[in-house]
Amino acid sequence: MAMSEHGAASRRGGPQEEQSPGHFWQVPEAEEELFQLAPKFRSLRVKVARLTEIAEELERLARVWGEEFDAPDHPDSARKKDLETQAKALELEVKSELLGWRKRGIEVKDLSTGLVDFYALRKGEVIFLCWRIGEEGIRFFHPLEGGYRSRRPLSPSERAGGLDSPPVPPGPSTES
C-alpha cells in the first residue's frame, strides 16, 4: 500500500483486495463518528506533512551527493538513515490508523481535502456516505464505483437514519 499524493493510502498498482465493510453506517452515527475522528484526522495530516518534508529532504540530499548518497561512509549517511527510519515509522503509523478505520467501514479518500466515505446500505445497494471537511454534516452519497463527482443528495429521511439496516447473519439452527 503506497501513500498517494493526497496522503491517503492507495491500493493502486496491484490487485485490489476485496474489502468487506466492517460496519454499515446510518447518517446520524456516521456524523457522531466524524466528531470522534476529527483529532485523529488532524494528527494523520500532520504525520503525512512530515512524511512529505522527509521525502523532500532526502531528495535534496540525493541531489547534493549524487551517486555517493548511498555510500555508507559519506558525511550525511547518519542523517539519511535517521530520515529513512522516521519515514518508515510514520508510514506504518498512518497505514495502521487508516487500516483500523477501513475495518470499521470508513474509507479516507483524501487526507489533504478531508474526504471521507462511510459504507452504508441504500435501497439494497452498498453505497458510500460521502463527507468532506467544511461540509455541514453528511448530506451526500455515491455508488462504490463512483466517486466524489457522482455524489447525490440524501433525502431528509435518509439523513435522519432511514437507510437500510444491514442484513442479519444467519444464526444457529433451532431445529431439533
The pLDDT of residue 170 is 66
Beta strands in 9-158 (DSSP E): 9-10, 106-110, 115-122, 125-132, 140-143, 152-153
- Which residue bears the cell 455508488? 143
Q: What pLDDT shows up at residue 73?
A: 87
Q: What is the pLDDT of residue 14?
A: 36
The pLDDT value recorded for residue 30 is 96
User: From the first residue on, what is the mean pLDDT of each consecutive set of 10 residues in the chain (176 residues)?
Assistant: 42 43 91 90 93 96 88 89 97 96 93 91 94 92 92 94 78 59
Helices (H) and strands (E) in the chain, counts: 3, 7
Burial label for 93, CB within 10 Å (0-12, 13-18, 19+), is middle
Cell (9 digits) for 147: 466517486
Task: Tell me the domain boundaries of the chain.
Answer: 22-159
Please report the pLDDT score of residue 164 as a whole number: 87
Predicted pLDDT of residue 70: 85
DSSP conformational letter for 110: E
- Output the pTM of the full model: 0.76
AA letter at 141: F
